[in-house]
Structure 1
Amino acid sequence: MAAKSLNQSIFRLVVGVVLLTSLTIIVNVWLATTEQAQKGLDRDLKVAQNVLEQVLSNRENLLFNSAGVLTDDFGFKQAVASEDTPTIKSALQNHGARINADVMALISLNGKNIASTPTLLEPGTEFPYQSLIQTMLSDGGASALIMLDKQLYQVIMLTVDAPAPLAIALVGFKLDQGLVNQLNDITQLETTIEVAKNGAEEFSVSTLEDPAALKAIQQNQTDLNWYSITIAKDIPFVSRQFILADEFGYQTQITLSEDVDKLFAEFNQLQLNITVIGALAIVIAMLLAALFSRKLAKPLVTLSQVAQRISSGNYTTKVEIPPSTQELDTLSTAFTSMQSNIKTREEKIVFQARHDTLTSLSNRHYIETLLDQRFVEGQPFLAIGINIFGFRGINDIFGYHNGDLCLKELASRVAKLDGLAARLTGGELLWVPSKHLELSDIEKIKIELEKPIDKGEVVINLKVAMGLLYCPEDAKDAEQLFRRMNIVLDEAQISRQFILRYDFALEDKYLRRLSIITELKNTLTHAQHELNLFYQPKLNLKTGKVESVEALIRWTNAKLGFVSPEDFIATAEHAGFIELVTQWVIERAIKDAATFQDSKLTLTIAINLSARDVMNTKLLSLIKQKLAEYQLDSTSVSFEITEGDLVKDHQKAIEHLKAFQASGFSIAIDDFGTGYSSMAYLQSLPVNTLKVDKSFVLNLDTQVGDQQIVKTVISLAHAFELTVVAEGIENLPTLQLLAQWGCEWAQGYYICKPAPAEQLIKWCHENKNTQWLT
């Protein structure tokens, strides 16, 4: 049977009601509409209150997430640990700008202000809400509404841990005119926020002008009645108030108001019209209402039940109502479409909330939830951290676009493995295998992950470091797992142990590295007297004279004592400030070169450069400037570069080294034989000298295998017109063998241990006639 138009049914009903309305309907309309309006208004105000609370809760979550990102930032932790105020303020400003925060601050654990942006909290003064500090320290975090500079802020406070708490980060948004305007747009209700202290108003913001806002506040909890609405008109607003916060001596109160005239303008006219019409039609209206109510109510009740199921998250129940009118059929179809669309959008939102946008792997928050479930279940599992070795270098050399492509490709490879996969931070991934793996299995997987990435115009070779944590032995919860994974990956990167299991001793090494970073920065800035250069002579085996020395840095710190160069040089490279160390070495070495010259010594000082130094386009001009300052020529210094560093970016290394060579500087490859180099590779490099690693020289007089290697290197180097330096010479037979094979330079303890410049000058004069080969 064809469905009838809903408009026709309603028209017939209205005509019947108009014709048969009676005085009973009039009275019922007067009372019922006023009562329903009161209930509807109360409901609207309650909904608005819930919306306001949800908005503030969402802002609090945003503040919490933003504060977590800030406190997890490694660079920010370093700045806090080193009390680097400019870097702290810069980090606060940059992070605040990204999230549009209105206040960012760092507070010491004893409640003293360190830095803030804007400068609402004067550095060195006491934070005005000390009880909030105590709450935060006891609970691990805190949120509150506070007054700063006569302005209300919603703030989140978290500790900055490395891993122990160092300081407290504060992130906040204003509760200002913009917020109440936003709430007005959402709820269509007038909103007033007041802050009072001891009954006196300290702060107020409202969508209403001052006189209207005062009236709205005075109408709190006022009930509507028919007389006031239609006749007296003595209730301009209906308002509801609730306390948002009552702490620190301040009471924050929110008032939601509805303009009664606006709300009931049409109702009053309608009520008058119904009064006139209803007097004529009450009886017929009752009969027709009874006749049609069942026909209309049943489908609407069904749709109402469907809406309730959808609101509770049930999107699978099919929407079915008996055939009625075209409009109800259309509404039923719309409900079905709405149910499907909501389900699709919710699935998309859930996926985005749980996954990293770049790699589509699980994000840190979601994997933390899954890991905590594993810990609760008590089943042992292996967690493998995967970090691209030299990821920062890939971004620098190939650009951030290709860096992202590398990360996406690596994430894709990890995602294809069985188990859970997530991106934690930057180039760091986490993989939890679904089955037990032996070390040999992990090594095979590492090889697969390191396959070159061919992007057409460029081929990028990957090297990954893998950190292993066996849980729950190595970690008891997800937070501890993340922290210790960061420690083991950091150690793997520095020590170049590319598959490394977590060990509790690594925590001490990690803390020591942090101490080294802090103290070395302080030394380079304020205590350079702690640094010194020692020099080890290089004997020219052709002339029998010492004509060159190698500069070796030494550091004795007031807190850490003597720190090995192997420790602090690697840490400085990893932390990204090796250029400062190199700059100090260059300046000191050139100064000492002038001292040698004044002491009638003709010595070339060999200075070690890192890969980052070679790529530093400003370094060559600095060297030339310092040489000119002391009136020295280019033969006063030479440079040594580790071969493993050169192959990371072959073309740029060649370009920069050619510039050094064109300026008259000699270039040597240090530790030759321990890296990747081949003679064909070396032929393309603008170098003058090979320096044979001491591991092949220490036992040269007794080890036939080492003798074959060194003889071959010397022969091939000479074929490429390169000179050879042998280091690690411990005795006369070794020295005599090297001279016999045509090695040009010798260096080692047999000749002289590294010594300060003053002792070296004395030693050179005492040994100028020494016959080293007899």
Structure 2
Amino acid sequence: MQRPAFLDLRRLEGRIVALFLGLLLLVQLGSVVLVNRSVQANAEASIDADLKTAGHRLERLLFQRVLRQHDIAVLLAADDGFRSAVGLMHQEAGTETLRDALANHAERVGAALVAFEDLEHRLVAGAGVQPGRFVGLAADLPEGAPAEGDSRLVLVDEKPYQLVRVPVRAPGPLGAVLMGFALDEDVLADLKGLTNVDALLLVRGGGPWRKPLSLEADKAPMLMEQAAQAEMGQNQARRLNLPDGDERRGRLFDLRVRGAASGVQLSALLTASVSEAIGPYNSLRWTLLALTLAGVVAFAIGSVVTARRISGPIGALARSAERLGRGDYDCPVQAPRNLGEVSELAQAFETMRQGIKAREADVHRLAFWDPLTDLPNRAQFVERLRTWLREHPQERMAVLMLDLDRFKHVNDVLGHAVGDQLLQRVAERLQAQAGSRNLLARLGGDEFALLFEGAAASQALGLAREMAQGFERPLSIGEQTIDVSAGIGIALFPDHARDADALLGHAELAMYAAKRGQHGVLLYDPAMDEGSQQSLGLLTELRRAVEQEELRLFLQPKLDLHTREVHSAEALVRWQHPTRGLVPPGLFIPFAEQTGFVRQLTAWVLRASARFAVEAEALGCPLRISVNLSTRDLLDAELPDKIRTMLQQEGARPEQLCLEITESAIMDDPARALATTEQLHAMGFRLAIDDFGTGYSSLAYLKNLPVQELKIDQSFVMAMEREADDRKIVRSTIDLAHNLGLAVVAEGIETATALALLAHWGCDEAQGYHLAKPMPAGQLPGWWQAWRAPEFRDSALGPLTTT
């Protein structure tokens, strides 16, 4: 006679029944023995974990509290009325106004102390509890926002306070505001609400434990006595038995205190009730026992029925899983009815199949379509382009690449939402012009590309110009009317390239060339690629030039037209390339400015100039070296500190250097440029405006800048002998500079007549090829000793002296 399947351990049904019943009996028998033992241990472990967490929560609450206090102090330091009170203190030699302001603010924000100290951390005025004592405790308290975890606690008369210090500037530093806030029961109440742990703040050391703060005033003495008897230390949990039968576990958590006496420590005694923790476990034990008895009976019957109902559908689910593993997401998974978890498992398989199928479709769309414009993206465009090239190797084709002008400005001014709408409208207009046959794609950002099938150069240029003309019609987005334009580059197949990547690269080069030259539409030319590769190679090698000492310092002397002596020179940089030879500065400096590498070049020139000035002075050739600062240099807030450090390292003085600033550098950010130049002027540097007359600067900025020198651009000087207008500009500039108290330097002197004219008009210094060409720095001392100034007389000028 064949045994039933649920009794056959070789069958799935038998194994399910035997396993489930055996495990249930084993677990329940073991739980009877272990549950009583583990309830107590688990409750205590849970309390210990809660106490440990509560200590960190308390520390975090104190840190958040001191952050809010710091924000209050920042508002006070920035308050115009308060800074006026500080100013009146200096003007009227009194502190009453300041003390009243401090008292009013302390009352308004609930501070126990508000004090103002000078730059030497001496008390100037204060209001509240013992200002002098708090200032002494805060001697090493840092200014500004507290670091993570720094609660800034101090003890005054065994009472805890939190201190913050904020500097006061108007605009220079005047002193600092010191604020103290008494620690109250609100912190303990917040901790109780967050962790259900009671806390008692106490002072240890130097005698019996003292209680400064507690929510349980009646139990605080007993808790401190129990904790002291248990010799509880930092991070040690102990059992505390109170006389009223309240069993607790306690833990000490030491708090960091500034300026506390030796051996004195502010600690938090954290306690939690063991009875409350064990209560839920008692009901759980009775519930578990009842469930065990009912479960053994019901499980014996239910496991047999369940095992029979599981074995059949599981086979069907296994076959469905195999289909999903093979990538077949079209065949639905049939869910058996009324099978509980098995039905849910079948439904989960079906949900998984549908989800995977939907995600496959989404991934495919995200991989090949642009979600904003609903156009093909770069990946699809490249794939379609490669497919077209494989299938039509003998046909002509053009790739047009388009990039919008000033699109970043639209995003910055009108917002990204308007920018997105603009891209959608542009996509619609381009799609209408391109037609349904040609593939239009958005490559990314504001770049679009078009695959123009069967197009020769004339047809591609015609369509590109039509697209460019289409941008002459403004786009209306909501209430905004936006004028946009674009640069379009064209690459032809097979004329310019035969593979997709090269065609896209050539079209992109032509597009950027069209944008730089504002041509609108430009056909690719191989010269574009050669120029960009050469520039990229130079920039790559330039990054190594400083480290490999390939840069050379050249100097061009400047003649003092009053004494006819050379007292200064302009610093110029040359690149001695190991294979290219001497690289002209016009080839690498513009690219250095574009990439930001010009800061490293300026630092090198400043250091080399300072070193040369020191060496030349030691040789009896004292010269002031002029160094040009770029726009990026002038807008660097750390520039004064960097130059100060460099001078200290080279042993040079500020008066040995003159820093030249271009007009464009000033106009990019006048306020920031003014702040930097004022710092450099205060350090003792001579400052000069370079290339004056070629920019767009305002005379108001020229009046306010702390400069001592003005350089007339050589474009005016070189043409003044033959152009009356240039003579008027040069002479007027000299008069203007002198009226403003500035010295004048003219560059580009190539003839004796130009030199005589400048001397006649009262120009202070001159430089140019007529006097000396730029020379390596090492040659200048010898040249300086042997050089004699040329003669120039006013009588030889004739009518040129009249403007």
Question: Shorter-chain TM-score: which interval?
Answer: 0.3 to 0.5
TM-score by length of 2: 0.45
TM-score by length of 1: 0.46
State the structure with bigger RCO (CA 8 A, min sep 6), 1 or 2.
1
* Structure number, greater radius of gyration: 2
